[in-house]
Amino acid sequence: MKTTIQYDRKERAYRVLDAETGEVLSQHPQGPEGRYQAERAVIASDAPHVLPLADNLAHQYPEAVSRAHKAALLVARGAVRPNGATDVYYVASETDLPTVYLVDLPKGTCGCEDFYQGRQGEPHGAPNVDGRLVCKHVLAASFFLSQRATENRKILWPDFGDGLD
């Protein structure tokens, strides 16, 4: 299911809608926490495998909380696409819609400003997690790859109650 978030000014609330039918799936209060909860509902609906990955990363590396959440949202919104090379992806910018970044997972690189600032050692740049810089685009590509691997495993090894899922 594809979902979308709509802010209702009259109700002062965020609504998560089924993108096809317009049905309200959940409603969340205004403000940053309400927006965050609405975005989590979108991730849980559109990319359920990604939410625990983002939560686990955020728990282990508090400096990556915001980037992990935004990366999961990028995956849920379909902003990650393979470019044809092994483990190399195009990831759309969250803030500048026509901009797309090339993420090379084997090299651990991204073309975004956050990644560049992290490489320069600037305090607000991408943090270093286990020896790798992780901007939201690198995380989104990693989450996407993990999600695809899980989907492929389900196709190759259906759930027969053998604990593979």
Per-residue model confidence as pLDDT tens digits over 82-131: 998 788 999 999 888 789 999 999 999 999 999 999 888 888 888 888 88
In this model, does residue 154 exceed pLDDT 60?
no
Statement to judge: residues 78 and 128 lie in one domain: yes
Do 32 and 56 fall into the same domain? no
- The arithmetic mean of pLDDT across residues 139-151, rounded, is 83
Q: Is the pLDDT of residue 1 over 90?
A: no
Nearest-5° Cα angle at 97, 1 to 9: 65
Domain identity same for 37 and 54: no
Average pLDDT over residues 40-49: 94
Residues 52 and 42 in one domain: no
- Helix, strand, or coil (residue 160): coil
Inform me whether the pLDDT recorded for 160 exceeds 70: no
**Rounded distance, CA 114 to CA 126, Å?**
5
Q: Residues 32, 55: one domain?
A: no
Specify whether 18 is located in the same domain as 79.
no
42 with 57, same domain: the answer is no
Shared domain for 111 and 144, answered yes or no, is: yes
The answer on 148 and 124 residing in a single domain is yes
Q: Which domain holds residue 135?
A: 48-165
Q: Are residue 63 and residue 53 in the same domain, yes or no?
A: yes
Q: Considering its fold, how many domains does the chain have in total? A: 2
What integer pLDDT is reported at residue 128 of this predicted model? Answer: 86
